[in-house]
Structure 1
Amino acid sequence: MTSKNDSPPPYEDALHQPKYGNYPLQPQHGCPLPPPPSYKGVYPQETSQDLGSSCAKGEDFLFILSHTDFYCVYLILAAQLAVTISVVSVFTFADPVRLFVIRYPGIYWASFVVYFVVYLRPCASCFILQTLALSYMCGTISSYYETKAVFLAMGITAAVCIAVTVFCFQTKVDFTSCAGFLCIAAVSLMIIGIVTAIILSFQYVPWLHMLYAAIGAIIYTLFLVYNTQLLIGNRELAISPEEYVYGALSLYIDIVHIFLFILQVSGAATD
């Protein structure tokens, strides 16, 4: 049984007095109830301009995030180069250390063994070991050169690195598509190095060593361009922003090899 008050209102009353939930709108004494909030008042609709601005904000966030990783790469690279410069300075300026390496060549050859053992296991987690091994090898090699030649090689290497970085940001040429060419160049450099070592053992063509060092410096400069464009990420190929340790290690190895090849040229020029 239902009473008269519980029965549904007539159609005309329902149109003028809509229900709230399951309860009809009852007349109130005093101030009337406020009307229910509209849909637009609670959930404002985004216009195309708002969507464009939000997309722009998202792109700016990704831009800042990617460049933050870019800065991390160069911070790690700066730390690696600082360690290498410190070790090279010890082997160059400390006469007892330099004479000790010259007196015992086994320390010189041990640095190559340590470098190749560490280099054959490239991974982002062991970049500290690779930095120390490569710094040790650079230090022992620098012990056999004059201080003037070492300083000259450092200055030329710094100039080359700055020029390559500026070039990679300005050029429209995509060097990331030249990976096959760089691989062939690296194999050719290895073959030329073996031939040069054999020829120089018989004291033939003494200027061939300087030519080999110049070719090696040019090839590793191209590798530096390639790895820098991979890091920038605006070319055909790019590395992930999360691989900033790998990016820093790649640039570091290229820079150190450029320094070693230029050191051979400057050392031969100053003799």
Structure 2
Amino acid sequence: MITLYIQVSAAGKLDSEGPPSYQEATTGYEEMQAQFSWDDKAVRRIFIRKVYAILMIQLLVTVAIVSVFTFWEPVRFFIQTHPGLYMASYLTFFATYIALSCCGDLRRQFPWNLILLTVFTLSMACMMGFVSSFYNTKSVTLCLGITALVCLSVTIFSFQTKIDVTSCHGVLFVLCVVMLLCAVTLSIVVPFGYVPWLHAIYAVIGAILFTLFLAFDTQLLIGNKSYTLSPEEYIFAALNIYLDIIYLFSFLLQIFGGGRE
């Protein structure tokens, strides 16, 4: 009798309480959501700092190598008389770029990701140093300054604007097609005679394209746009932004650069 009374009393208590209300069921949800949002922002800030720390090291190494190849006469003479070094740098650059771009597990695996990125940066820096050695020092310095100003302006714009550049991939694709057509036309025309205005158009389109790519890749870091990068992809993010800056510098050099006398 006592057991039966306890069971009936418990059942009556449950029936009297009923299921929890919506407010009771969702109590603490907003606090949990705010906590998760704060954690995500903290991780994103660490990710952005890590990417730009790697990028600054890459750019400092590149500027140092370009300066040595441009301003130091013995080094400039040596590399200009040994074009095979450029081909070796290009093959190394291409191999490491394929490895870092296509092998997701490899670019996330420490320390191989940093080793490959270091080799990639040194090979690209040597390539740009070889190209810069054929231009006069004033042109190289001018293009370095313009590249720095453009990168600073685009970075500030990308972080402050409400425009979602990552959703404009169609425009980037069209510009890539136009640039490809200009490159094909140049390859056909150049053997019959150099056309300066066609080369200038190609260089201007290339500078505009990689300026837009710089804004695109910068906004991929932010995390609140149509497309974002995972915080694990700090090597890939640094690689993309570094390539955008290097190609922008190379096209500016073709526009404003003057050959050595």
TM over 0.5: yes
Report the counterpart of residue 14 of structure 2 in structure 1: none
8 Å Cα contact 1:84-1:131 kept in structure 2: yes
Report the counterpart of residue 232 of structure 2 in structure 1: 242
**Higher RCO (C-alpha 8 Å, min separation 6):** 2
Q: Does 1:102 align with 2:80?
A: yes
Report the counterpart of residue 196 of structure 2 in structure 1: 206
TM superposition shift of 1:54: 5.9
1:149-188 to structure 2, matched below 5 A, reads 149-188=139-178
Q: Does 1:69 align with 2:35?
A: no
Structure whose alpha-carbon radius of gyration is higher: 1
Q: Does 1:217 align with 2:207?
A: yes
**2:118 paired residue among 128, 133, 136:** 128
Structure 1 portions without partners, runs of 5+: 1-45
TM-score by length of 2: 0.77
1:15-34 to structure 2, matched below 5 A, reads none
Moved more, 188-197 or 208-217: 188-197
Distance 1:229 1:259 in 2: 20
Report the counterpart of residue 33 of structure 1 in structure 2: none
Moved more, 132-141 or 103-112: 103-112
- Letter paired with 1:234: N
Report the counterpart of residue 259 of structure 1 in structure 2: 249
RMSD of aligned Cα (Å): 2.6
Distance 1:134 1:238, change over 3 A: same
TM superposition shift of 1:170: 2.1
Percent identity, aligned pairs only, is 44
TM superposition shift of 1:242: 1.6
Report the counterpart of residue 140 of structure 1 in structure 2: 130
Report the counterpart of residue 190 of structure 1 in structure 2: 180
Aligned residues, how many?
227
Q: Does 1:80 align with 2:70?
A: no
TM-score by length of 1: 0.75
TM superposition shift of 1:169: 1.6
Distance 1:120 1:52 in 2: 44
Structure 2 portions without partners, runs of 5+: 1-23, 102-106, 108-112
